[in-house]
Amino acid sequence: SQNMKAGVGVALPLGNDVKDFYSVGLYGDFTYYFEINEAFLVGPQVSYLYYMGKDYHGYKPDAAMFLPIAASERYVIEDFFFGADLGYGIGVSKNNDGGFFYRPKAGYNFGPLGVVLSYSGITSKRDVTTYVGTESVTSTFSALNLGVECSF
């Protein structure tokens, strides 16, 4: 079956919420697709995202880690594919809230191997205490990703 996919890649953190505090990320994911028709696939996915902290004015945060559980869909045209993953990214590192996970992606298959370019984001809301009280803050942990996947 060519419906199981395992992938690995690197991530470049983006956005003001994360780029100053994290240098690079690594990810791995596993997806099982069900064929709706010849060109459209859907299925469950589990991923692991790891972002390394970097020094920011004398402060270096711990690594940020997420475990996204998502539904994945893929539309295939010849050897090209386009799709998206949607779900919840569980925060598994200290002081790391989880949130809504999304990852639009595109790629090209070279037989059982493929290359994938994607943008990922985990949006979460948390309460922050300031000198005027507690307020709700929304932040997005986003990254540009490049990876390879193997079909089996």
**Tens digit of each residue's pLDDT (9 = 90 or more) over 49-101:** 999 988 888 888 888 899 999 999 999 999 999 999 999 999 998 777 789 99
pTM of the model: 0.90
> What is the CB neighbour count within 10 angstroms for residue 40?
14
**What is the 3-state secondary structure of 80-124?**
EEEEEEEEEEEECCCCCCCEEEEEEEEEEEECCEEEEEEEEEEEE
Predicted confidence at residue 1, as pLDDT, reads: 45
Could you give the CA distance from residue 9 to residue 72 in angstroms, rounded to a whole number?
17
